[in-house]
């Protein structure tokens, strides 16, 4: 079957292989931070992120979360459902970290009394700015009903994965989620769920097991990605 590259982003490539219902999402070892101002490569990152994402999507599907995952034909490739992506990122925050610490003046690691949901407009040229519901309405990015459904799925996904990670001795500090609409207009969870898009901290030591190790030049990036993979995927009896 002829393969055609239709999109290449910072960490993934999308291929059309002729199936009108699906695409293939290829995970790269490339790493970027600060809106691609910092670039590098993390050995085996593509395979680690692909397998963690596939595992978590299957887990979420079992909890009645609609996802774009179909199958994983290779360690670095994921077959996904075709979606019309909503140009918004949802960030679910359980503890203070990163930009939230800078904006609110709270120390990193502060536990939030309840999960905080933030909307970001997916525009690289604008630096993916933080937006609210009024901004989203003015820009016509999504309907009120769609936003409500996205929020419901985001909060449920956060609750499910927060519990799963806690059972593995990992704190889900925060995570970025992206959504799209299928051919019937149903809201579907897409993109990836990995240490590139989430903050994972060891519950005992507080060690960062995610892309902050790359952002902040903490070293041992591959080692911590692999450690996360082993805890979340490799030691799962369903893997």
CATH number at residue 199: 3.30.470.20
| pLDDT tens per residue, range 51-69 | 999 999 999 999 999 999 9
| pLDDT tens per residue, range 124-147 | 999 999 999 999 999 999 999 999
Same domain for 114 and 210, yes or no, is yes
Rounded to whole angstroms, how far apart are CA atoms 139 and 141?
5
Same domain for 106 and 50, yes or no, is no
For residues 66 and 187, is the Cβ–Cβ distance under 8 A? yes
User: Is 239 inside a domain boundary?
Assistant: no
Rounded to whole angstroms, how far apart are CA atoms 156 and 178?
14
Residue 48 has pLDDT above 70, yes or no: yes
For residues 79 and 173, is the Cβ–Cβ distance under 8 A? no
Residue 222 CA: distances (Å) to CA of 44, 48, 137, 209, 228: 7, 9, 41, 9, 10
Q: What is the dihedral of CA 102, 155, 78, 55, to 10 degrees?
A: 100
For residues 213 and 221, is the Cβ–Cβ distance under 8 A? yes
Range of the domain at 54: 4-81
């Amino acid at each position: 079957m002829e393969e055609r590259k239709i999109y290449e982003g910072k960490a993934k490539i999308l291929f059309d292989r002729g199936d009108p219902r699906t695409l293939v999402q290829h995970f790269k070892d490339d790493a970027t931070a600060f809106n691609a101002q910092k670039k590098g490569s993390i050995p085996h990152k593509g395979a680690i992120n692909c397998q963690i994402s596939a595992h978590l999507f299957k887990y979420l599907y079992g909890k009645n979360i609609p996802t774009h995952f179909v199958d994983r034909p290779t360690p670095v490739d994921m077959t996904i459902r075709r979606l019309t992506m909503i140009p918004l990122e949802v960030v679910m925050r359980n503890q203070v970290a990163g930009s939230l610490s800078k904006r609110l003046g709270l120390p990193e690691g502060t536990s939030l009394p309840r999960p905080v949901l933030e909307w970001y407009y997916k525009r690289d040229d604008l630096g993916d700015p933080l937006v609210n519901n009024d901004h989203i309405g003015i820009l016509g990015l999504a309907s009120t009903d769609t936003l409500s459904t996205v929020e419901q799925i985001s909060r449920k996904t956060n609750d499910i994965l927060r519990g799963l990670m806690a059972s593995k001795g990992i704190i889900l500090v925060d995570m970025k989620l992206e959504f799209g609409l299928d051919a019937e207009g149903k809201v579907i969870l897409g993109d990836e769920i990995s240490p590139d898009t989430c903050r994972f901290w060891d519950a005992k030591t507080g060690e960062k097991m995610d892309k902050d190790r790359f952002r902040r030049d903490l070293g041992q990036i591959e080692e911590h990605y692999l450690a996360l993979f082993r805890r979340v995927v490799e030691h799962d009896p369903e893997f």
